[in-house]
């Protein structure tokens, strides 16, 4: 099993290219199931989750081809011959549930295993199912699978989300494009990945209004066509690499970055003593003189502070001057990285959904274990600022969401390498 070896290496300087968004691409790929015509995605990230979604779509009969060093994904679902998404593939990734809406909308039936993924909380699929039921779907949970039918097609309806769920909004949005009549999604999620999905679906012929707000209206059409779409920049990778010069010092330009993707995050960085400025090619990030200042953080749905950047922010605040309070309101169980940071000398107290972090002068390198995707990169960031050597185990989590992390960080001066172990 591979591990990442990090040594504290001082200030970082240079440029880091930011990939296309994992969470956007994983949503865009199932959109191929809505049409017989080709869908081409440009700026796709090269990640294990993308390979898992590729396997899932291929198991359903879709053709998926990677081009241009996997930066371009060509998809075609002209011959979908299977409507069952089996556990063996779905268990690897929670985003697999996103095939349910498209399969049901186009084919009138689907059988999809309940999904897996990082163990950071329950994340039940009930909101997905309620949304489809509001469009007339007949659903049954049996033997760990969702059995869905709409033999006469889905019908427009009003969906009232109890929580602004990103995945449920995406599933409902795709399904509604082929429903008869008008569908209204109330309390819809507002994330950039949903805006990106709506742009792609509109290019395919969908009639959608209101994406990026809490109310999305979809007027169903009889069929969708093909499209070529560029995947939006990954705001979580962007925010992650913005932490690197903040925790180490130096100045790094993040190519492709845009402030509107991470505005709430930038506000907290600024309060902590980090400057973020726009350039012709992205964002430039550098720490001001002196130690990072303590700030309080509460995770919220977009446009609030992203839960997927909480672990990375905690790593930074472990080195801050003062005490910070981080409140996790999106997922339970998302402080599993805290005990590993404490092995590196961090002063953290966790009580339920709240973590109190008192900054220390210097973290110390230690052997640590990644517990999930974002935790893995938070430990790497902490290792960059630590005294001595940090070895991060279970880095298969990392491969799900960050491409070439060693190359990107070493390219700006980090002392980091990947070690293959038998």
> What Å distances lie between residue 119 and 47, 55, 126, 369, 374, CA to CA?
19, 22, 18, 14, 11
Q: Enumerate the active-site residues.
A: 118
Angle made by CA atoms 336, 337, 338, in degrees to the nearest 5: 90
Containing 109, the helix (H) or strand (E) segment is strand 109-113
**23 in a labelled binding site:** yes
**330 in a labelled binding site:** yes
**408 in a labelled binding site:** no
**89 in a labelled binding site:** no
Q: Which residues are paired to 389 by β-bridges?
A: 7
Give the C-alpha separation, 101 to 146, whole Å: 11
**125 in a labelled binding site:** yes
**238 in a labelled binding site:** no
**123 in a labelled binding site:** yes
Sheet containing 158-160: which strands, arranged edge to edge?
158-160, 182-186, 215-219, 207-209
SS3 for 105? helix
Q: What is the dihedral of CA 263, 266, 270, 274, to 10 degrees?
A: -150
**199 in a labelled binding site:** no
Judge contact between 285 and 254, C-beta under 8 A: yes
Q: DSSP per residue over 122-163, as a string? A: ---SHHHHHHHHHTT-EEEEETTEEEEE-TT--B--EEE-SS
Binding-site residue set: 22-23, 94, 123-127, 308, 330
Binding-site residue set for phosphoenolpyruvate: 22-23
Binding-site residue set for UDP-N-acetyl-alpha-D-glucosamine: 94, 123-127, 308, 330
């Amino acid at each position: 099993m591979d591990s990442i070896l990090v040594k504290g290496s001082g200030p970082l300087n240079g440029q880091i290219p930011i990939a296309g968004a994992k969470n956007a691409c994983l949503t865009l790929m199932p959109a191929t199931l809505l049409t017989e015509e080709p869908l081409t995605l440009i700026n796709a990230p090269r990640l294990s989750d993308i390979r898992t979604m590729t396997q899932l779509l291929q198991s359903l009969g879709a053709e998926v081809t990677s081009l241009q060093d996997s930066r371009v994904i060509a998809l075609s679902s002209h011959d979908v011959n299977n409507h069952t998404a089996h556990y063996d593939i779905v268990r690897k990734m929670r985003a697999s549930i996103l095939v349910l809406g498209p399969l049901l909308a186009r084919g009138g039936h689907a059988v999809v295993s309940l999904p897996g993924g990082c163990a950071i909380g329950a994340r039940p699929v009930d909101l997905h199912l309620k949304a489809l039921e509001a469009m007339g779907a007949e659903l049954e949970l049996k033997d760990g699978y969702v059995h869905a039918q709409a033999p006469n097609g889905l019908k427009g309806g009003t969906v009232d989300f109890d929580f602004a769920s990103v995945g449920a909004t995406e599933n409902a949005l795709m399904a509604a494009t082929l429903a008869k009549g008008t569908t209204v999604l109330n309390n819809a999620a507002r994330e950039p990945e949903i805006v990106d999905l709506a742009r792609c679906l509109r290019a395919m012929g969908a009639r959608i209004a209101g994406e990026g707000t809490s109310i999305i209206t979809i007027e169903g059409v009889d069929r969708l066509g093909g499209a070529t779409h560029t995947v939006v920049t990954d705001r979580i990778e962007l925010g992650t690499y913005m932490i690197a010069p903040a925790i180490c010092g130096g100045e790094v330009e993040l190519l492709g970055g845009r402030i509107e993707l991470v505005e709430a995050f930038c506000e907290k960085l600024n309060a902590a003593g980090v400057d973020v400025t726009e350039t012709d090619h992205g964002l430039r990030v550098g720490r001001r003189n002196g130690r990072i200042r303590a700030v309080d953080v509460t995770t919220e749905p977009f446009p609030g502070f992203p839960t997927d950047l909480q672990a990375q922010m905690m790593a930074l605040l472990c080195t801050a001057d003062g005490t910070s309070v981080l409140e996790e309101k999106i997922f339970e169980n998302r402080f599993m990285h805290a005990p590993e940071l404490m092995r590196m000398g961090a002063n953290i107290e966790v009580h339920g959904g709240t973590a109190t972090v008192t900054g220390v002068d210097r973290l110390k390198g230690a052997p640590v274990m990644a517990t999930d995707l974002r935790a893995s990169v938070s430990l790497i960031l902490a290792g960059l600022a630590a005294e001595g050597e940090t070895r991060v185990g279970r880095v298969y989590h990392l491969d799900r969401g960050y491409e070439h992390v060693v190359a990107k960080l070493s390219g700006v001066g980090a002392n980091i390498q990947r070690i293959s172990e038998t």
